[in-house]
A and B are shown apart, each in its own frame.
Chain A
Amino acid sequence: MNAASKIIRTGTLAILCGSLVWGCAEKPAQVTDQALQAIQVAKEAGAMEYAPEDLRLAEDEYQKAQEEIATQDNTFALMRNYDEAKTLLAKVVLDAEQAKTKAETNKQQAKTDAEAAVILAKSTLDDAKNLFAQAPKGKGTQADLQALQGDLQAAETTLAEIEPILAKEDFLGVKAKAESVVELATRVHEQVAHAMQKSGKAKA
């Protein structure tokens, strides 16, 4: 074997080894972590409740990326290509960020609605209590007054239950309770106003 032949052999071997190293594509570990973290952040922002469909899209894309990675892992080393997985994972990050943004917006809206409902409930209850204090009392009104007193007490109890669930950020639950307070207080208000009108004690 002459020197030229040796050089050709060594060169060919080097090119083969180089191809192998170049051909063994790396798993997209970093992008996977980013995607997972983006999903986690979206969940922490309340996406499960406030942007479930957007979160689902991101989770589906993540699952597809994992399936693609698993497929490539089982492919002959020289043929591996994680480009599609990387594209999918990049999409996961974007979708998860969109889910997070949407969840934050929807959650803020739900919070604003719930707080407005609580303010309305408190003011309606205060009005009802003030009017109840002026309700005509006398023979024949005991049962009615006791029923209205029951409504006011139930409204107070329900209102007191709002704080803990507000802390748990169950805004729909808060809104439902606030609405029930408004309903009870409105009934008291209407009945007392009617009784006052009947007894000629209506406000000018």
Chain B
Amino acid sequence: MTASSQERAQCEISFTVNGKSHTVRVYPMERLLDVLRHDLELTGTKEGCGEGECGSCSVLLDGVLVNSCLIPVLQANGSEILTIEGLASDGRLQVLQQSFLDCGGAQCGICTPGMILASVHLLNKKPRPTLEEVREALSGNLCRCTGYMQIFEAVADAARRGAAT
């Protein structure tokens, strides 16, 4: 593809990521995941399967939990996105991050960003979820290390500490 045809195929997309506005020139069908990781260098969002099964690439798009590997960046135009990098502020961990750390909710760490965002999404909707609700809410995020029990504990711990924002 020549440089000018590449220019023509691309378009301008504007969105807010972690409270900061960005405008990027990208192909409209590029995956939101790739734009976050490559264009914005926000590599905390991970790719595990590329087909919406594992949830490692979870982000919040206008408050909705999505798999960023399935979202064409065009769809994110004008939206507000929260990634794992947007949770801690001034070096202080968000409550869920602290609870994951304390309870053993993160082992290898690759599912952790997505798992924490799924938990943020849950606690925003249900500040005091039951165990059944936690199991259900996290069932789109696969973890191969923990067997999930310590993740459930982390979410319960964060709920007790008032993680809901």
A and B co-occur in one complex: no
